[in-house]
Structure 1
Amino acid sequence: MLSFEDTVRLRHSPRAFLSTPLTDEQIHEVLQDAQLAPSNCNTQPWHVHIASGDTKRALTEAMLRNDELGQVTPDFSFDYADFYGDYFARSQEQAKQYYDVLGIAREDKDSRHQALLRNYAFFGAPHVAFLFMPSFGDNVRVAGDIGMYGQNFLLSLTARGYAGIPQTLLGFHADSVREILGVSDQYRLLFGISFGYEDPDARANQLRMDRIPLEQSVVFHK
């Protein structure tokens, strides 16, 4: 496997995958790595469902139907209007670079929407992991634990030669996902991770987003 230094620098969010599935053994190895994530008071609050094959296709159909009807059922709020300052600017720059790579003009709203719908087909990935969580208090610490689990999952994929992309949009259809996967209402859906083998020839996978300098995000006290 790759070193940590190589893994963390090679990890990115591909938006096109090969149809080749991972074996059950390969998926279990990744899950074992993810399971080692830290959590508040060792609660280990992650409740993970992996969908492939016919189940994944049923999820795609349900989410596309919801989109057509304009129906969303997120467990947690999300609104670009809540972003401000540099945070909003970074989100807009990411969108601009992504659509530029795809060759989609800003005014071409139909093509942009079609590109968005590829989220619901999991960008062609053969597998998707849905990360559910119980509700404790204001959920901030629980969501933080799920984030650390998700990062372990993503880094394990990269280290083993696979790839994955975390997708907030999948959480917009929590009711449909719970129904299809048979998940209790006591669990809230935070996000999903589509994963498999990256398609190295896809235009979408040429995108690499930069990171701000440390001086803009870290303050040293001595």
Structure 2
Amino acid sequence: MKLDQAIRERRSIRGFQDKPVPKELLEEIIELANRAPSSMNTQPWHLHVLTGEPLERVRQGNTERMLAGIPPSREIHDHGAYEGVHRERQVEIAVQLFEAMGIERHDKERRQDWVMRGFRQFDAPVSIVVCFDRDLLDNTIAHFDTGAMTYGLVLSAWSRGLGAVINGQGIMQSPVVREVANIPDDQVILTCVALGWPDDEFVANSVVSRRRPLPNTARFLGFDA
């Protein structure tokens, strides 16, 4: 798949086939994503790839803690609620997804189930926990670099027929993830990527988020008219 095609066609996948992903394919995807640029070639990222029993333990732990009312616990600074245009975009994609799934505004049970799917890593066969070096916690460049690698990860997966969604919900109960994955203390959990073979019958997988037009994104200075 050409790069332009992968970028334009990629979308967040939230429904997966019950089908394992070969370790060799995951290694290939990660090796390619590892080519991402980083400041001074620091390469601050670390990936912990979970499937099978360890992933089921994370799902169970996340679900139990959330249903018990235990507040989310992330290891990076929480930005809090979105406001303004950012809140508008957040609501817009939620509306798109709920309309595709046929979830009515008053249907609290199905809305709650949708939220819990995120904490279950969308029932994907693989979850990749994305971390970076703790001694760079206050270095926002390390966050940027790790994000660049993560985007490369989902593009690489897409180009090989796999689907993925970058899923902050999956690590909101970070103590569970850290314990099950035995993540070293010198690493900070940033996010996770739910990954697997897309389920073509899961209608939310067809949703494509709307993007700002170019004039609202970029300014050009010093160019000829």
The two structures share one fold, judged by TM-score above 0.5: yes
TM-aligned CA deviation for residue 52 of structure 1: 0.3
Q: Which amino acid aligns with 2:138?
A: D
- Per the alignment, residue 98 of structure 1 pairs with 97
- Per the alignment, residue 197 of structure 1 pairs with 197
TM-aligned CA deviation for residue 45 of structure 1: 0.7
Q: Which amino acid aligns with 1:68?
A: L
Q: Deviations over 1:127-161 (max 9, x none)?
A: 11000112325231111111011011001011111
For the residues of structure 2 that align with 1:145 and 1:173, how far apart are their CA atoms? Answer: 24
SS state at 2:75 partner: coil
- Per the alignment, residue 78 of structure 2 pairs with 78
TM-aligned CA deviation for residue 79 of structure 1: 5.0
For the residues of structure 2 that align with 1:186 and 1:172, how far apart are their CA atoms? Answer: 19
- Per the alignment, residue 51 of structure 2 pairs with 52
- Per the alignment, residue 176 of structure 1 pairs with 176
For the residues of structure 2 that align with 1:163 and 1:26, how far apart are their CA atoms? Answer: 13
SS state at 1:22 partner: coil
For the residues of structure 2 that align with 1:25 and 1:137, how far apart are their CA atoms? Answer: 31
For the residues of structure 1 that align with 2:112 and 2:79, how far apart are their CA atoms? Answer: 17
Q: TM-score, normalised by structure 1?
A: 0.94
Matched, 1:16 2:7: no
- Per the alignment, residue 144 of structure 2 pairs with 144
Deviates more, 1:103-112 or 1:19-28: 103-112
Q: Which amino acid aligns with 1:32?
A: E
SS state at 2:44 partner: coil
TM-aligned CA deviation for residue 87 of structure 1: 1.3
Q: TM-score, normalised by structure 2?
A: 0.93
Note the aligned Cα RMSD (angstroms): 1.3
For the residues of structure 1 that align with 2:120 and 2:42, how far apart are their CA atoms? Answer: 32
TM-aligned CA deviation for residue 68 of structure 1: 1.2
TM-aligned CA deviation for residue 171 of structure 1: 2.6
TM-aligned CA deviation for residue 162 of structure 1: 1.1
Q: Deviations over 1:158-197 (max 9, x none)?
A: 1111111100112311111111111122211111001111
8 Å contact 2:34–2:149 — kept in the other structure? yes
SS state at 1:63 partner: helix
Q: Deviations over 1:44-97 (max 9, x none)?
A: 11111000000110000000011012222111243552x222111111111111
Structure 2: where are the runs of 5+ without partners? none
- Per the alignment, residue 217 of structure 1 pairs with 217
For the residues of structure 1 that align with 2:142 and 2:162, how far apart are their CA atoms? Answer: 27
TM-aligned CA deviation for residue 111 of structure 1: 1.5
Q: Which amino acid aligns with 1:162?
A: L
For the residues of structure 2 that align with 1:199 and 1:139, how far apart are their CA atoms? Answer: 38
